[in-house]
Structure 1
C-alpha cells in the first residue's frame, strides 16, 4: 500500500494531512473564544439581550471546533513517535519541553474553565462566568504561543549546541524567543481572528441574503466586518515585517516565494505576479512581473540585492512551484478580504450595508477564504523550510524513523483519510447545520424555577432546541425583537 511513494514521502503527506485538518479547528476556536469574551463583556456592560443571545449561539460552534481541535491534535502528535522518532530523539530535548509547557500552562487552564464556560451560565455569578470565558480565551492564546515557539525554533533555531549528534538546549530564552517567533506568532494570531471573523460574517450574510433583518443577524454582521477590517489591515503590516525576517534568516525560502533565480547585483528585482517555475532548468518558463517593485517590497530599496535560488545548492532548495503559488493564493485572498472590508465601510456610509444582496453574496463566498489562506500560508511556511526539519541543522530525511516502511505509512494514511472524513466530516456538517439555523432570540427562564439549576443525566438531554428545521423564520421568537440600532 505504498502507492508508489517512499516512506519519507508518505510520512510527509500523512503529517501534512493531519496538521492541515487540525489547524482549522484551533484557528476557529482561538478567534471564537476571543469573540465570545467580547460578547459577554458587552452583555455585562450594557445588559443588551442581543449580546447574550449571540454568546449562547456562537458558543455551540466554538464547543464543536474546540473538541475536534483537541482530538485531531492528539492524533497528530503520535506521529512524532511513529514516523518521526529520529527527529524526537535528536531534537526532542527542545521540542518536547516546549510542547509540555503548552499542556501545563494552556491545556490545563482551558480544561479547568471550559466546563464553567459551557455549562455554568445561571449556575455561577455573571462575573465568575465571564472570568471563565476570559480564561479559556487566554488559554487558547497561550497554547498558540508555545506551539508557534516550537515551530518557529524549527524555522530559525537558536540557543542550542550539538553534543554526540543530539541537539541540546543551552539558552531557553533564545530558544523560546527565537528570531522569527514574534513575527510568526503575531501573523498566526491575526490569521486566527480573520478566520473566525469571516465565519461570523458569512453566517450573518447568509441570513441577510435570505431576508432576515433582525438585530441578532445585523449585530453579528457588523461586529464581524469591523474585525475583518482591523485584522486584514494589520496583516499587511505583519506580512511585510515577516517577509523582511524571512529574507534575513531563510533566504532560500524567500527566493522560492518570489520565483527569484538570479541574484540581482546591479538592478532591481521584479515583483512577479505570475510565473511557471522550472526547477530542472532553473528558470521561469513564463512570467509576468512589475520591474523593481520586488526590491522595494522585500528590501525597501531599489538597489539592494536579493540572493537568487542558483546561489544555493540544488539539494538545499525547497519545491519552488508549490511555495511560489501557495504564497500567491494566501496574498490574493488577503487582498480580497481587505477589499471586502473597505466595501463594507462604503456601504455603512451610504446606509446600504444590510440590504445589498450582491455584497451579502460576496461575503458568503468569502467565508471559506480565511481557511484557504491559512492553509496556503502554512504550506508556504512548511514546504519552504524543506529540505530541513530544523533549518540548516537537521534534514527531513534524517528525522524519519528507521524501522517504518512505506507500506506501513501508506496503510495508516488511508485509514487516517477514511476516519477523518467520517468523524470530522460529521462535526463540520453539524457546525453547518447550526450556522444554517442562525441565532434566535431567547427568553431567560425565571430564577425561581426549580429546574433552572438541574443538570441533565445525559449531555444531549440538556439541548433545549432543535437544529433540524429548515429556516429560522419557522421558529417563533420567544422575546419581542429589539429595535434596530442606528449605530450598527
Structure 2
C-alpha cells in the first residue's frame, strides 16, 4: 500500500471522491429545472391543476438535490487552494476567474430566485413566479457552462502561454472558446437533461405500477412529457458524444489510445480494429485477452471524414507521458457509450408503444416490463456521467493542464498523513450525506404529490385600500 505515503496519489483520490460525489446532485438540478419550466408553463397555458401539482411535487426533489450539491461542492473547490496550490498559482488568472464567474453569476442567480420558485406560490403573480423558475433553470445551466468551460480549457489550453511558470492570458475569449468548449458544454447539457428525464420517467413508472387510478392518470402525464423530450435528447446525446470522440482523436491521441486500449499504431489509410472487450495489461503493454471488430475503429472515426492520419498506439509515448490506468479508462468509456445506446433503445421501444396507443391511462399500467425497464434505467444516467468524467479526467493524465502542467507538479507538498485524515473525514461526511439524501428522497417519493394544495389565483393584484376622510381639526 505504497500509495498511502504518496501525497500526490492521496490528493488525487480525495479530489476524485469529492468530484464523483458532488457530480450526483447538480446533474438532477440542471436537468430537472428545465422540466419544471415545462410543466409550470403548461399550467399557465392550460390551467390544468395536474401541471401545477407536478411543479410542486418535483420541486421538492429539486431542492433536496440543490442542498446536497451546495454542501458537497464547496469543499471540492477549496481543494484548489489546499491540495493543489501550485496549480492554482500557475493558472489562477484564468481558471480562478472562471470559477468565480460560476459562483457569482450562475450559483447566485440560481440561489437568488430559488426562494421565489419554492415559496412564491400564492405570494407573487403566477407570471412572476414562472419568471423565477426560468431564472433558476438558467442559473443552473449557466453553472454547467462555466464549469465545462474551465475543464475544457484544461483539456485544450488556449488564449495564452506559460511564462515563468504562470499562465499569462493574451486572448480571454479565445481561452473561453477553447477547442473543446462547445462540444463539452453540449455533451454535459444533454447528459444532465437525459439523466433527469429518465429519473423522472423511472419514478413516474413506479407510481403507475402502484395501480392507484389517480396516480396512473397523474404520472402518465409526466411519463409522456419526458418521453417526448427524450425522443430528441437521446439521439442528440449520442451524436454529440461522437463529435467529442473525434476531437479526442485529433487533440488528445494518448487518451484515444487508452479509451481503445490500443497499444500499436495503425498506419494512416489503414482502418484500425475496434476493441469490443479486452483485458488491458499496462505493465506488459498489451491486451491479455481481446474481442475486436476488424476495421471497426476506422469506420467509427471515418463517420465524417477520410482517416488519412494514423491511429496512434500507446507505445508511441514513453510510459510517463501516457495515462496509467488504461483498464479504468477503457471500461469507463464502454459503460458510458453502452448506457447511451441502451437509453436510446428504451426510448425507441416506448415510442412504439405510445404510437400503438398503449400509454393511455387505462392501458399504461399493463405495460409492466416496459415500466420496470424505466425504473431500472433511472440510475443509469448517473453511472454514464460518472464514467464519462473518469474518461475525461483520468484520460488526461499525466497532465493537469494538458501538455503544460504535470499533475505531480500541480499538487501541494503536504504530509500524506494529513491528506489521509481529510480523505477519511470526507468519506465519512459524504456517506452520511448520501444516506440522508436517500432517506429524505425516498420519503418525498413515498408521500407522493399533495393534491390538497390551494391553486394560486389568476392575479394577485393588491386589494385597494379605502381611505377615510382626515377628521383632524383644521388649524387657523
Corresponding pairs, count = 448
CA-CA distance at 1:223 after TM superposition: 1.3
Q: Where do 1:47-66 residues align within 5 Å? A: 47-66=47-66
Maintained 8 Å contact 1:226/1:341: no
Kept in 2: contact 1:272–1:290 (CA 8 A)? yes
**What is residue 409 of structure 1 aligned with on the other side?**
419
CA-CA distance at 1:443 after TM superposition: 4.6
After the TM superposition, which of the residue ranges 180-189 and 414-423 deviates more from structure 2?
414-423
Which residues in structure 2 correspond to 1:305-454 (within 5 Å)? 305-318=310-323, 319-353=325-359, 354=364, 355-402=366-413, 404-444=414-454
| Residues 32-181 of structure 1 mapped to structure 2, 5 A cutoff | 32-181=32-181
DSSP-derived class of the 1:305 partner: coil
Give yes or no for contact 1:145–1:185 (8 Å, CA) kept in 2: yes
| Equivalence for 1:228 | 230
Q: Distance in 1 between matches of 2:449 and 2:387?
A: 31
Deviation per CA, 1:417-441: give whole Å up to 9, x if none.
1111112320232112212333343
How far 1:216 moved relative to its partner?
1.4
Alignment check: 8 A CA contact 1:198 1:370 kept: yes
Q: Give the equivalent residue in structure 2 for 1:291.
A: 294
TM-score normalised over the length of structure 1:
0.89
Residue of structure 1 aligned with 2:254, choices 252, 255, 259: 252
Give the deviation of 1:217 after TM superposition: 1.0
Q: CA 1:429 to 1:3, structure 2 compared with 1: closer, same or farther past 3 Å?
A: farther
Q: How far apart, in 2, do the equivalents of 1:177 and 1:171 lie?
A: 10
Inter-partner Cα distance in structure 1 for 2:447 and 2:438: 14
**Contact (CA 8 Å) 2:157, 2:401: kept in 1 or not?**
yes
Structure 1 residue 261, shift from structure 2 partner: 1.4
**CA distance in 2: counterparts of 1:161 and 1:376, whole angstroms:** 31
CA contact (8 A) 1:109 1:139 kept: yes
For 1:470, the equivalent position in structure 2 comes to none
1:299 deviates by 3.3
CA RMSD of superposed structures (Å): 1.9
2:264, 2:314 within 8 Å by CA — same for their partners in 1? yes
Instruction: Work out whether residues 156 and 391 of structure 1, in 8 Å CA contact, stay in contact via their aligned partners in 2.
Output: yes
Q: Report the Cα distance in structure 2 between the residues aligned to 1:350 and 1:49, rounded to whole angstroms.
A: 28
State the shift of 1:247 in Å.
0.9
- TM-aligned CA deviation for residue 168 of structure 1: 1.4
| Structure 1 stretch displaced more, 263-272 or 311-320 | 263-272
How many angstroms apart in 1 are the aligned matches of 2:136 and 2:77? 22
Question: Which entry has the higher C-alpha Rg, 1 or 2?
Answer: 2
How far apart in 2 are the matches of 1:246 and 1:95? 21
Once the two structures are TM-superposed, the CA of residue 72 in structure 1 deviates from its matched residue by 1.0
Aligned-partner Cα distance in 1 for 2:436–2:146: 30
Measure how far apart 1:379 and its partner are: 0.5
Look up the SS of the partner of 1:286 in the other structure. Answer: strand
Is the contact made by 1:102 and 1:146 (CA closer than 8 Å) also made in structure 2? yes
Q: Give the SS at the match of 2:278.
A: strand
Cα distance in 2 for residues equivalent to 1:186 and 1:382: 17
What does residue 216 of structure 1 align with? Answer: 218
What displacement does 1:342 show? 0.7
Question: For residues 202 and 18 of structure 1, what CA distance do their matches in structure 2 show?
Answer: 27
Measure how far apart 1:222 and its partner are: 1.2
2:30–2:193 contact (8 Å) kept in structure 1 = yes
* Cα contact 2:122–2:456 (8 A) shared by 1: no
Q: Distance in 1 between matches of 2:203 and 2:62?
A: 14
Deviation at 1:112, TM superposition (A): 2.0
Contact 2:199–2:378 under 8 Å retained in 1:
yes
List runs of 5+ in structure 1 lacking aligned partners.
448-488
C-alpha contact (below 8 Å) 1:278/1:285 kept by paired residues? yes
- Seen in structure 2, the aligned counterparts of structure 1 residues 440 and 112 have a Cα distance that, compared at 3 Å, is closer
Report Cα offsets for 1:150-190 as digits up to 9, x if no partner: 00000000111222211111111111010000010000000
Q: What's the CA shift for 1:2? A: 8.5
CA contact (8 A) 1:277 1:320 kept: yes
1:216 and 1:439 in contact (8 A); partners too: no
Question: Does the aligned pair in 2 maintain the 1:159–1:170 contact within 8 Å?
Answer: yes
Q: CA deviation at 1:281?
A: 1.6
Aligned-partner Cα distance in 1 for 2:455–2:400 = 56
Deviation, structure 1 residue 99: 0.7
Cα shift at 1:111: 2.3
Q: TM-score, normalised by structure 2?
A: 0.91
- Alpha-carbon distance in structure 2 between the residues aligned to 1:312 and 1:429: 48
CA distance, structure 1, for counterparts of residue 301 and residue 326 of structure 2: 18
Between 433-442 and 180-189, the greater mean CA deviation after superposition? 433-442
Segments of structure 2 that go 5 or more residues without pairing to the other structure are 458-476
Does 2:273 align with 1:270?
yes
**Would you say the 8 A contact 1:193–1:227 is kept in 2?**
no
